[in-house]
Chains A and B, each alone.
Chain A
Amino acid sequence: MRYRFAKGVSVVLGLALVATACGDGSDDDGGGSASGDDIVIGVAGARVGPIANVGEGVGEAIRDWFDMVNAEGGIDGRMVKIEEVETKYEVPAALEAFAKFQQSKAALVAVEGTALSDALTPVSAQAKIPILFPGQGNLDTVDGEKFPYAFPGGPLYAHQATALVQHEVDQRGEGTSFGCVAWEPPPGREFCAGVKEAAEALGSDFTGEVVIPAAAADVDAQVSDAVAMNPDVLLHAAIFGQAVLLLKGLCQEDPALPVGAWHWAITQNEIKGAGSDCMEGKFGASMSTLPSDNPEAVQMLGDYWEKSGKDPNPVLDNNSLYGNGLYIATLIEEAIRQAIKIVGPDGDVTGEVMKQALESIKDYEGYGVSCPITITSKDHSGNRAVNVYEIHDGGLKKVDDCVTGPPVADEPDVS
């Protein structure tokens, strides 16, 4: 029995080793398609793990968008090949995925998750392949001179926080006090640091920060602490299951407390989990115009599905983070269009060309999905604006358009 098992396993392992050794052996310096070939875009996906909801929404939208683009003749005749590799939001897997994209001569890599965008920032500079991670990432990466191949391309967590504070001060007046609940990893802490700075900059009080450990199974203590801070408005950067628990707890302990969230926690997940009664009036930031508002990009997809006889993707309706995916997809499309302008219709779209192309984008609105995006060689932020949505009758309703908050003190000077 033991020998049979040993032989079986050894045969499987041997075959696996042989197969994996049969790589194409190509030299993979730099990214980019050969002249006239498909343009490869890598997606370091995260459909499993702590940010699975993001991975699903963003991954599905990018796939759907470029299915449509390719079916309609590509971008100036060039087809776009999306290569998605699952990372589980783990850094070693992301490094492996990036190497795979490099081998596939990807011209750009879209990254989901701050841990991954941080880890890939130096690697992208070495490989000269831009990474794009709108709506996430480290504030330092807005500095295009320091991190030339890292492109946040959208509002970072601190920007989302300051914009939400601005919106609330506009609504409630100066002197409104703010408390914050942070998810323990860096994105959550950066969000609350932004709330504190903006509150102080706008003449409001910051009553304090409560932290939810990354692996916390219950958040009762945080709910009590948050209520005890007694803010006029509580903003939070919790995610998924923890966000639902937090919202349920807040609804029980202080149902009248206005609660707002960063863009990962204003989705159908929270509405379904905490219940539409609890979520009534809760609000949050979104870097994109949500699919429920039917922006032009969503109409285009709807027309394409109808014309091609394909079933509409249910994720579009079930996961509002699909809107963020459309933001990323349309931005990539525009970058490719600019790149083709630079190298000509049959030119070689390399990572360096894509960097140039991204840095030439000006006031781009992504078929109605994004607030105007402008990227320069110095400022890679793209924009610092968010839309504010409120939940009414179980649905998301836009209440403010492209709000920006006061400048963030820790942000590198890219003016």
Chain B
Amino acid sequence: MPLIAMETGRFHESYADEIAIYDTAYRKIWMLAVLGVAFVAVPLLVSQYWLTILTLVGIACVGATGLNLLVGFAGQISLGNAAFAAVGAYASGLLLTRSDLPFWLAIPGGMVMAGVFSLIFGLASLRVKGLYLAIATLAAQYIVQWILSSWTFLTGGYQGIVVFDPIQIGPFDTLTPTGKYLLVLTALTLVVMFVENLVRSRTGRAMIAVRDQDIAAAGSAVSPLRYKLLAFFISSAIAGLSGILYGYNAGLVTTEVFTLALSVQYLAMILIGGLGSIPGSIFGAVFITMLPIWLRDLLPTIGIDLSPSVQVHLLTLLFGAAILLFLILEPRGLYGLFRNIKDYFRMWPFSY
């Protein structure tokens, strides 16, 4: 019978034990409790304002998790996450409005389009080692922005607005903050489950092998190109999903939303949260999304009333400082910090 307690060490007796998501039943119960709170208690107890905030955090978590798969697990850098989010959002929105597809086809349709679009740049740049993918995705960012404002027959051009009709199934309605929150939370849960399982699989281990030593991986019959492309496809499809969720949250998408700054922000999320860890993506997304709100709402409570422009510049400074501090002091990011703190308490009073 498994112990309902925290583990005191990791003593795997079989391969299945080693790759299990939950080391102990305790951890499984924790996870179910978190999901229960997120899906049931939060919508019932939290104000509409906080549901809106949590929805924005959730969308950022989806985008950051997708990017972390590429950067953290496959070792490739993308500067075009916002571009792929745009492709997903516009493709899905156009499938909804012009082709009258139901949402359950338009959402995966948009994700696949984002993934396929990314392969154009991936195929051109992933054959070689180095920073070529970063450069190619930077190009993707500009090309997508140009397409969105210039291909008027498709996107409506610079005046184009692609409307996302709400999803309404019985009492579930994405016009309401609760509906939006639940849609985003469901998507985030599915993405986390998918990525968590993917990285435990043969495919995930192959991606990690390519990241750590691609020559050795190739020598072990793992094709670096194939796995880099696969990681890029999945990562871009998840970025597309974040764009679609943005569309449902705002009710529409326009050409001005998916900028290079957003791509950089996603990179900051995973750097601060922790590369190569799914909780790290979530911690980073929460941190980057919430920091401006904390600065704005908390500082006045301790008597510091900064003008909005000072607040925003301070924020930019803090983002930069946070990235530098984490790189120097804790390269595993917020998740690394969390693990340290957890280990400290687990070992207490014999912590070292």
Contacts and interface: CB of A to CB of B under 8 A. Distances in A.
B192 to A, nearest CB: 20
A95 B301 contact: no
B158 A86 contact: no
A299 interface: no
Nearest to A410: B159
Nearest to B308: A86
A118 B161 CA distance: 8
Contact of A19 (B47, B56, B298): B298
A92 B56 contact: yes
A95 B180 CA distance: 13
A16 B259 CA distance: 29
B255 interface: yes
A366 to B, nearest CB: 25
B323 to A, nearest CB: 14
A176 to B, nearest CB: 26
Interface string A1-36: 111011101100100100110011111110000000
A126 B165 CA distance: 12
Contacts of A144: none
Contact of A121 (B48, B252, B293, B341): B252
Interface stretch (B13-21, B95-103, B108-116, B309-317): B309-317
Contacts of B167: none
Residue of B293, B308, B337 contacting most chain A CB atoms (<10 Å)? B308
Contacts of B249: 95
A123 B49 contact: no
Interface string B280-322: 0000000101101110111001000001110111000000000
Nearest to B311: A86
A102 B47 CA distance: 11
B251 A9 contact: no
Contact of A189 (B48, B158, B309, B313): B158
Contacts of B309: 47-48, 52, 86
Contact of B47 (A24, A48, A123, A126): A24
Contact of A45 (B46, B252, B308): B308
Contact of B330 (A5, A16, A115, A193): A5
B39 interface: no
A147 B53 CA distance: 25
Given A27-B47, A95-B249, A114-B256, A138 B161 contact: yes
A28 B337 CA distance: 36
Contact of A103 (B48, B251, B340, B341): B48
Contacts of A25: 45-47
A165 interface: no
Given A24-B47, A92-B289, A215 B308 contact: no
Given A23-B47, A28-B47, A99-B48, A5 B329 contact: yes
Contacts of A103: 47-49
B293 A96 contact: yes
Given A27-B48, A48-B312, A86-B308, A126 B255 contact: no
A88 B337 contact: no
B151 interface: no
A109 B161 CA distance: 21
Contacts of B308: 45, 47-48, 59, 84-86
A6 B312 contact: no
Interface residues of A, number: 60
Q: How large is the interface on B (under 10, 10 to 19, 20 to 34, 35 or more residues)?
A: 35 or more
A175 interface: no
Contacts of B50: 23
A9 B329 CA distance: 12
A99 B49 contact: yes
A122 B59 CA distance: 18
Contacts of A390: none
A2 B47 contact: no
Contacts of B292: 93
Given A5-B330, A84-B308, A185-B158, A118 B254 contact: yes
Contact of A122 (B45, B250, B307): B250
Contact of B312 (A88, A100, A118, A119): A88
B296 A86 contact: yes
Contact of B159 (A86, A126, A139): A139
Interface in B265-293: 287, 289-290, 292-293
B53 A3 contact: no
Contacts of A115: 254, 256-257
A190 B49 contact: no
A296 to B, nearest CB: 29
Contact of B250 (A48, A90, A100, A119): A119
Contacts of B123: none
Contacts of A49: 312
B260 interface: yes
A188 B256 CA distance: 12
A13 B149 CA distance: 41
A184 interface: yes
A21 B289 CA distance: 15
A333 interface: no
Interface of B: 45-50, 52-53, 56, 59-60, 145, 149, 157-159, 161, 163, 175-177, 249-252, 254-257, 259-261, 287, 289-290, 292-294, 296-298, 301, 307-309, 311-313, 325, 329-330, 337-338, 340-341, 344
Given A86-B309, A92-B60, A123-B250, 19 more contacts: A3-B344, A5-B330, A6-B340, A16-B294, A20-B298, A24-B47, A47-B312, A48-B308, A49-B312, A86-B308, A86-B311, A99-B49, A99-B53, A118-B254, A119-B252, A126-B176, A140-B159, A184-B149, A186-B254
Interface of A: 1-3, 5-7, 9-10, 13, 16, 19-20, 23-29, 45, 47-49, 52, 59, 84-86, 88, 90-93, 95-96, 99-100, 102-103, 114-115, 118-119, 121-123, 126, 138-140, 184-186, 188-190, 193, 214-215, 410
Ranked nearest first, the 5 interchain pairs of A and B with the lowest CB-CB distance are A122-B251, A99-B52, A86-B308, A115-B256, A189-B158
16 contacts: A29-B48, A84-B308, A86-B308, A96-B293, A99-B177, A100-B49, A115-B254, A121-B251, A126-B176, A184-B149, A185-B158, A186-B159, A189-B149, A189-B158, A190-B159, A193-B159
